A and B are shown apart, each in its own frame.
Chain A
Amino acid sequence: MGTENPGRPSFPATPFAAAPPTMTPFSNSGSVVGSEASNLRPMRPTVPPNTSPPMTAGPAGSGESPAFRPAPPTRFNDPSLPTPPSSYGPPAAGTFNRFPTPPFGSMPPGPPARAPVVGQPPFQPPPSQVSPPLSFRPQGQIPGVPMGSPPPGVNTPQIDSSFPASRPNFQPSFPPTVSGYPAAGASSQLPLPGYVKQSNAPFQAPQGPPVQSPFQSPPVGYAPSAPTPSPHFLSQQGGLAQAPPVASPYGLHSSTMPPMGAMQGLIEDFSSLSIGSVPGSIDPGVDSKSLPRPLEGDVEPNSLPEGYSLNCNPRYLRLTTNAIPNSQSLVSRWHLPLGAVVCPLAQAPEGEEVSVLNFVSSGIIRCRRCRTYVNPFVTFTDSGRKWRCNICALLNDVPGDYFAHLDATGRRVDLDQRPELTKGSVEFVAPTEYMVRPPMPPLYFFLIDVSISSVRSGMIEVVAKTIKSCLDDLPGFPRTQIGFITYDSTVHFYNMKSSLTQPQMMVVSDLDDIFIPLPDDLLVNLSESRTVVEAFLDSLPTMFQDNLNMESAFGPALKAAFMVMSQLGGKLLIFQNTMPSLGVGRLKLRGDDPRAYGTDKEYSLRVPEDPFYKQMAADFTKFQIGVNVYAFSDKYSDLASIGTLAKYTGGQLYYYPSFQAANHSEKLSHELTRDLTRETAWEAVMRIRCGKGIRFTSYHGNFMLRSTDLVALPAVDCDKAYAMQLSLEETLLTNQTVYFQVALLYTASCGERRIRVHTAAAPVVSDLGEMYRQADTGAIVSMLSRLAIEKTMSSKLEDVRSNVHLRIVKALREYRNLYAVQHRLGGRLIYPESLKFLPLYGLALCKSTPLRGGYSDVPLDERCAAGFTMMALPVKNLLKLLYPSLVQLDDYLLKPSASADEFRKVMKRLPLTADSLDSRGLYVYDDGLQIVLWFGRMLSPDIAMNLLGPDAAAELSRVTLVERETEMSRRLMGLLKKLRESDPSYHQLCNLVRQGEQPREGFMVLTKLVEDQTGGTNGYVDWLIQLHRQVQQNA
């Protein structure tokens, strides 16, 4: 052992110096290992230069040596399998020869194979790899590398000596090993450099951890053998020094590898990450700080390969992978969803708006056969007289007035004046053929519940005020139409004829056969009837203030609204406060039954009970009516049923549980204002076309399909995204590139009919690795979450979660099979760089409101509402919702001055674990839907006083944050404002929570810290370990 020590110190000097920090993580793994655990523990501390003392103690104490001996024989036999699998690089061969080759070869399928071999007592750990996985394997592998040891001669002697000592049995097996070894040694060097090349740049960072692991391993396995190694070790080190960083780890191990150690090390896998360029690796047991986290938020894929610069911006269209597989078999091996997430009207930053082109006179240029719109990827031939469609490859004639000559390179001479040929996103003004009727005016119809609970909660007043304040900003002046219906146990209509001064109210109480009391004037032109509308909104809150009616004739009111609107279409906003109790569409209090959870009936709570609502939604869509539902009930109100109205009409469900005007008015009025004033596309249809051989087969989001591939969207805006999955129609794609084209035909609020066209291209690949490399986590997560939410409608939450888990496991396993074999990455979880956040988002998805826990974790209505919301969210917002930002504020507030620049620096997102919360700090948590300010228990009273004034001592649930006369308060409010502005689609209500204030802190913050272990769910680290284990199990 003593000899070893000298060697150790030298390690630090080598690249490993960096390693130490990570070392700690191993401790976990150590314990897992079992018998060896004891050894490991001492080791850890020692790992750094000082390792030597503990090391010795460890091995000796554990009495590992005995354990080892028995094992060797068997192993060797195995190893005797002379030829290492050809698949392994030469280095591998080296390792294997010494050790049980089979295990290695089987690496991917690994665990089982090994188990028998390693099965021997000492080596249990390796077999157990599955469980202790990460930490151990790496070690093992590293030793394997020893072959790295250039001087074969040195090694062999050692081995010999050690082996005889340990066991006679070994001897026989030896010869083969030895012989193999030199060869391996020679060859091994070659591989190493190669490896280095690949891994160099990309991997350096990840390497840190891997290196460490090797470190530890040596101690464990080798301790006993220590004496012999020293010389060997030194020599190797020298050799290694020249070697690239990656190589060095191996060197280390090899050095540590004494005879016995060698064996052990060999058993373990190689931790190299030498895979291609992108993949990364983790040691789960290791440093939780080094785990990948999307602290930068969503990163849009911008590294498109050369030649795809004409693609539309990814904010409009994102593919789950930017490399389309060329065969069915490849698709089936890519276990993640294959498809696209489309947000056709995404808000473009200033200066990047989509340009509008007018082709009315000449007609829009489209392919004769597949109706593709002309786009940057079409090619002109025959000196400009023909163009070839990029999607179906048909040769079309160029119409006379679109003709232009081609220059020498085959480009049109007028290319720079043709945005449709240079930009991925354009808008065409639609000619008459694209209209079935004249462009409709923007139309807003309000259906307001005026029963007692909505009066009491103050909802009516807020709504009336907000609508009134928005009248000036409604899009489409002067054509905008507006109308109102209110309902409790009867339905009230309002005549708003422009010649009146006050609206006339008409009450219809025949709920079974609802009719419209007046043919016109229920829906009026806003600019003409402005005064009447204002008078109505002014009087609305007082009109019903004494209403004691508790019933709700929601169904009949809905039908009435439908009758009024059906002629024009438009947007129907429903403010619903009570469970529908009268007339058609009444709902039962089927309740949130705890007994249903965990049974096969569970899903039925989440699907609409009464087909009435789906039928209504279908009718609404048919007549171009989009429905937005604002639900306020504090009791169960079966949003699963009511929400379908929004779901199938391309709308949105806003849910304000236990709405109280005092607390929530700001949120409601912001969101209603945005709903009313954002640019909206009316009577829209969307179709996505793609090249030959592939087809979009399923669509996910809030809309209704009109035919197999035509998405009907009565009203659509920038806050809605849609996902669709692809499948291959032919077994083999022959073309090099496939193209996607999203076309949205809609009526703008100004009365123009337009077609917005986004075109993108993606290469076709035959290599699974490339698919993984080009994967887009954001799109994948968006797709996965939509699929998962849809699945909650037909199965148990538990199944849905395990399904998500399984998909990730399968994908990682496939990836692992792809690379682990070549590179023997046994002990680590490997994944492509592009998917480094996938496991975390998967975890977050399983913990998101729609999928989380069971009965008691989330009220059913909230779960359904969140499901509807997540089905519509664009990628960026979804990712933020899944992995919210957590930022420490106290430093920022204390600092004297702050500029915008500093603001950015302040907004450094922290990992979502309880560890990030310091009880002396003030944190802001923002998931895009709400903001929580978390006050640490030890937060300096000064800050609290400044921000909250005299309320600082009160219970924070009753305190609202208002701007105070202090600098600090002003800055905080400024900051919150900025946060809100950065994501205007929802208003993030600010909640205050003090540390330790239960249960508020629990459900507002602690359960949302997705990386923590809460209520029987996995923490991030456990999740990774579990993933990893499963990835390896059936590999």
Chain B
Amino acid sequence: MVKLTMIARVTDGLPLAEGLDDGREVKDVELYKQQVKALFKNLANRPNEPSRMSVETGPYVFHYIIEGRVCYLTMCDRAYPKKLAYQYLEDLKNEFERVNGPQIETAARPYAFIKFDTFIQRTKKLYQDTHTQRNIAKLNDELYEVHQIMTRNVQEVLGVGEKLDQVSEMSSRLTSESRIYADKARDLNRQALIRKWAPVAIVFGVVFLLFWVKTKIW
């Protein structure tokens, strides 16, 4: 079942359209949307990514295709046939290019083609049920070499940058903590010294005081 559908421009990650009423039954839909946005940003930074890919995230899978500098992405259940998902994206792509083709490069505001959501919604309904005659026929069609499409984990895809961040964060935490340790050690040292010699110093002090008093009085 298709849960989310998003279309974005690859060059700058600008969202162009999104399915209407998406993610109704999905818990944490915001989290997944965040991931999608991060993914788009990633794509913008790394132009050499394969044009078709499936990315696993939690109980769902993102499928996307990149065509003509536009990324069409959908999120489905893991059980949803990959073949149908890509067929769905293909349909979207064809219609989107037909309707908005020339304006894609010049779109200057987010969701410039939000009107496309009605088409997304309509198409989505066609793919909702895997058991319809139409969809079964599609499944049997060997139109696409779907099994060749790489599947990765979302942590892998998004994580490359994250890991570096983590390392540098850890090292910086290490330096600051070692500095704290050094300070503390010095402090303890001093305290130990005081504890050791303070009684002796006090005794001597008292003795001298007594001497001094004695000389004064006598």
A751/B108 contact (C-beta < 8 A), A438-B17, A525-B118 known:
no
In the complex, what distance in Å separates the CA atom of A432 from the CA atom of B122?
25
Q: Is A360 an interface residue (CB 8 A)?
A: yes
Per the 8 Å Cβ criterion, residues 476-500 of A in contact with B are 478-479
A603: min CB distance to chain B, Å: 43
B2: min CB distance to chain A, Å: 13
Contacts of A479 in B (CB 8 A): 20, 114-115, 117-118
In the complex, what distance in Å separates the CA atom of A592 from the CA atom of B72?
61
**A441, B117: Cβ atoms under 8 Å?**
yes
Per the 8 Å Cβ criterion, residues 1-58 of B in contact with A are 14-15, 17-18, 20-21, 24
Q: Is A467 an interface residue (CB 8 A)?
A: no
Q: Is A1002 an interface residue (CB 8 A)?
A: no
Closest to B122 in A: A528
In the complex, what distance in Å separates the CA atom of A82 from the CA atom of B114?
85
Q: Is A545 an interface residue (CB 8 A)?
A: no
In the complex, what distance in Å separates the CA atom of A358 from the CA atom of B125?
35
In the complex, what distance in Å separates the CA atom of A358 from the CA atom of B20?
25
In the complex, what distance in Å separates the CA atom of A753 from the CA atom of B14?
14
Contacts of B109 in A (CB 8 A): 358, 360, 429-431, 752-753
Closest to B37 in A: A432
Contacts of A437 in B (CB 8 A): 18
Contacts of B115 in A (CB 8 A): 478-479, 751
Contacts of B20 in A (CB 8 A): 438, 441, 479, 568
**A528, B110: Cβ atoms under 8 Å?**
no
How many chain B residues touch A (CB < 8 A): the figure is 18
**B111, A435: Cβ atoms under 8 Å?**
yes
In the complex, what distance in Å separates the CA atom of A528 from the CA atom of B122?
10
Per the 8 Å Cβ criterion, residues 353-375 of A in contact with B are 358, 360-361
A751/B15 contact (C-beta < 8 A), A358-B109, A429-B109, A567-B24 known:
no
In the complex, what distance in Å separates the CA atom of A752 from the CA atom of B113?
10
Contacts of A753 in B (CB 8 A): 109-111
Name the contact of A438 in the complex, choosing from B14, B24, B111 (C-beta under 8 A): B111
Contacts of A567 in B (CB 8 A): 21, 24
Q: Is A527 an interface residue (CB 8 A)?
A: yes
**B108, A431: Cβ atoms under 8 Å?**
no
Q: Is B121 an interface residue (CB 8 A)?
A: yes
Q: Is A439 an interface residue (CB 8 A)?
A: yes
Closest to B14 in A: A432
Closest to A481 in B: B20
**B18, A527: Cβ atoms under 8 Å?**
no
**A360, B117: Cβ atoms under 8 Å?**
no
Per the 8 Å Cβ criterion, residues 72-118 of B in contact with A are 108-111, 114-115, 117-118
B197: min CB distance to chain A, Å: 55
Closest to B13 in A: A432
A614: min CB distance to chain B, Å: 27
Most chain A CB inside 10 Å of its own CB: which residue of B17, B18, B111: B111
In the complex, what distance in Å separates the CA atom of A525 from the CA atom of B108?
27
Cβ contacts A609-644/B at 8 Å (1 or 0 each) = 000000000000000000000000000000000000
In the complex, what distance in Å separates the CA atom of A361 from the CA atom of B115?
21
Per the 8 Å Cβ criterion, residues 59-83 of A in contact with B are none
In the complex, what distance in Å separates the CA atom of A527 from the CA atom of B122?
12
Q: A358-B108, A751-B114 are in contact. List 15 more A-B contacts (CB 8 A).
A: A360-B14, A360-B108, A429-B109, A430-B110, A435-B110, A438-B15, A438-B17, A438-B111, A438-B114, A438-B117, A439-B111, A439-B114, A441-B117, A520-B125, A568-B20
25 A-B pairs in the complex with CB atoms less than 8 angstroms apart: A358-B108, A358-B109, A360-B14, A360-B108, A360-B109, A429-B108, A430-B109, A430-B110, A431-B109, A432-B15, A438-B15, A438-B18, A438-B111, A439-B111, A441-B20, A478-B115, A479-B20, A479-B115, A479-B117, A479-B118, A567-B24, A568-B20, A568-B21, A752-B109, A753-B110
Using CB atoms and an 8 Å cutoff, list the residues of chain A in contact with chain B.
358, 360-361, 429-432, 435, 437-439, 441, 478-479, 520, 525, 527-528, 567-568, 751-753
Which are the 9 A-B pairs with shortest beta-carbon distances?
A438-B18, A751-B114, A432-B110, A429-B109, A360-B109, A438-B111, A567-B21, A358-B108, A525-B118
